């Protein structure tokens, strides 16, 4: 039996989290989970109308702010981070959920496509997270959650730059852990299976591919956004204080086969 005085290690009250790519999909869902657990959240994405709608919905749960910004403009990341910190005077964690998947055959991948994909999926999580490290380290605690992918471990058709970037996210997560966990900043990644989002619309809109994806899992179904609530709160909270540098596949057993 748990004593009523036992602290809730998943409690996020008085914490502020920044979530990129938060106007829709995984980022929006994860922002909602964090807010529901007591955190104040700051949403970042390019699409202002969608961002405002997401913020309005999440504000029904708790405190949510948003900043419309293009993360591809790396020279502006420091200023963006300062805006995020100024909202509540601190940032306790970041979820790097912004991503790009161009879905092109290898022969059609241009230099521009390669650069933009690796920039948003791999470079931005590092450079933007680094903007918050100093103030996290001063408090001796911080949480960084990156978003990996099934393609971190598996090669899919028409996924060369995306797969390369997401494989890099796993090593980036380990390297971030090596660099910053000594300051109390844990760095972990979530690798989702197939979840219904804008990025996976091509899969879910087609009954054949939707059923194929479900049949690749050992559970026998595709993911539902609620399936990400537990992993998100685990990595964001004190519950994972001794877990860092890890990638958790939340894929219904897809990669178990």
Residues 94/128, Cβ–Cβ less than 8 Å: yes
For helices 25-36 and 229-236, what crossing angle results, to 10°?
60
Strand order in the sheet with 40-45: 64-68, 40-45, 16-20, 93-96, 142-147, 185-192, 247-250
126: nearest Cα among 163, 85, 179, 88: 179
Pick from 66, 12, 54, 56: nearest CA to 35: 12
Q: What radius of gyration, in Å, describes the C-alpha atoms of the chain?
A: 18
Alpha carbons 60 and 47: distance in angstroms, whole number: 21
Token pair listed for 71: 């993360």
- Asked if 166 and 151 count as a contact pair (C-beta separation under 8 A), the reply is yes
Of the candidates 162, 183, 242, 249, the residue annotated as catalytic is 162
Which element (helix H / strand E) includes 174?
A: helix 160-180
How far lies 62's CA from each of 5, 93, 250, in Å?
Answer: 25, 17, 26
Say whether 66 is catalytic: no
Of the candidates 168, 19, 173, the residue with the CA atom closest to the CA atom of residue 92: 19
Q: Catalytic site residues?
A: 162
């Amino acid at each position: 039996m748990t004593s009523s005085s036992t602290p809730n290690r998943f409690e996020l009250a008085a914490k502020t989290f920044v979530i990129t790519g938060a106007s829709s999909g995984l980022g929006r869902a994860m922002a909602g989970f964090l807010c529901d657990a007591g955190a104040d959240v700051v949403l970042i994405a390019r699409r202002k109308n969608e961002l405002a709608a997401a913020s309005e919905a999440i504000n029904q749960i708790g405190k949510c702010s948003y900043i419309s910004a293009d993360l591809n403009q790396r020279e502006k990341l420091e200023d963006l981070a300062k805006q995020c910190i100024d909202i509540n005077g601190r940032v306790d964690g970041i979820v790097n959920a912004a991503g790009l998947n161009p879905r092109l055959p290898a022969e059609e991948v241009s230099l521009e496509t390669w650069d933009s994909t690796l920039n948003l999926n791999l470079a931005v999580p590092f450079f933007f997270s680094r903007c918050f490290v100093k103030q996290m380290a001063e408090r001796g605690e911080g949480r960084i959650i990156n978003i990996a992918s099934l393609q971190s471990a598996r090669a899919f058709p028409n996924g060369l730059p995306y797969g390369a970037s997401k494989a890099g996210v796993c090593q980036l997560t380990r390297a971030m852990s090596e660099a910053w966990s000594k300051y109390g900043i844990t760095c972990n990644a979530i690798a989702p299976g197939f979840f219904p989002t804008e990025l996976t619309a091509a899969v879910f809109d087609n009954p054949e591919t939707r059923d194929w994806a479900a049949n690749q899992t050992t559970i026998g179904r595709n993911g539902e956004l609620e399936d990400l609530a537990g992993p998100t709160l685990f990595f964001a909270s004190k519950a994972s204080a001794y877990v860092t540098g890890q990638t958790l596949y939340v894929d219904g057993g897809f990669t178990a086969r």
